[in-house]
Amino acid sequence: MQTRTMCAEHRKPINHRLRRREGKGSAGFTLLELLITLAVASVLLSVAIPSFETIYARNHLATSSNQLLSALVSARQMAITRNVSTTFCAGNPDAGCHADWQAREFIVFVDADRDGELDAEDELKMFERFSASEVIEVSGNGPFRKSIVFRPTGLAQWPGGAFAAGRLRVCAASALPSNTTDLVLIGSGRVVTEQHDFDGNCPAP
């Protein structure tokens, strides 16, 4: 009996000390601590937001240029393997080759009469909208302003039959290293890429 009474007496002050500690721990943030937290958060955001914008622009630049390069390579390869003339241009199935790269769309089709126009008898092989955003600008010179006809030999020509060479510029209007990828159509009909840094600007090719 005496032992139980002593245990009870010793237990009371222990519980009392625990309650006092719990009370101190639930006091929450002081005003100074809250201000310091907000200051640190604002600094972190000021660093993170520009980094996110750079990553966003770089990803769209890579995705858009790779998609366009893949379409050009596919059009040439189709002309060689199927022994038919194949045309690549900015356009859609309804309007045909409209040459407006800001519409962010292109088509590839078997061009029976090699006129660079999507006619009723031509076979549409590809229609895509490339992955671009408001930070991406696309422009072209030479045959990219109209259409490129790949012959079964792999050579690239204007619709009229003349030799075709030019460049399609995919540019991120953002201050990131190498903000431009040029898809350069060379004499053999092959397409090679070139990287350029225009300091966040996107001049026409």
Q: What is the pLDDT of residues 132-167, one digit of tens each?
A: 567 889 999 999 999 999 999 999 999 989 999 999
Q: What is the pLDDT of residues 168-205, one digit of tens each?
A: 999 998 878 889 999 999 989 999 999 999 988 999 99
| The overall pTM is greater than 0.85 | no
Helix, coil or strand: residue 177: coil
| Domain annotation for the chain: domains and CATH numbers | 52-196 (3.55.40.10)
Q: What is the pLDDT of residues 78-127, one digit of tens each?
A: 999 999 999 999 999 999 999 999 999 999 999 999 999 999 999 999 99
Beta partners for residue 55, in sequence order: none
Whether 173 contacts 135, CB under 8 Å: yes
Break the chain down into helix, strand, coil percent, rounded to 5: 40, 25, 35
Tell me how far CA of residue 152 lies from CA of 111, 148, 157, 168, in angstroms. 11, 13, 11, 22
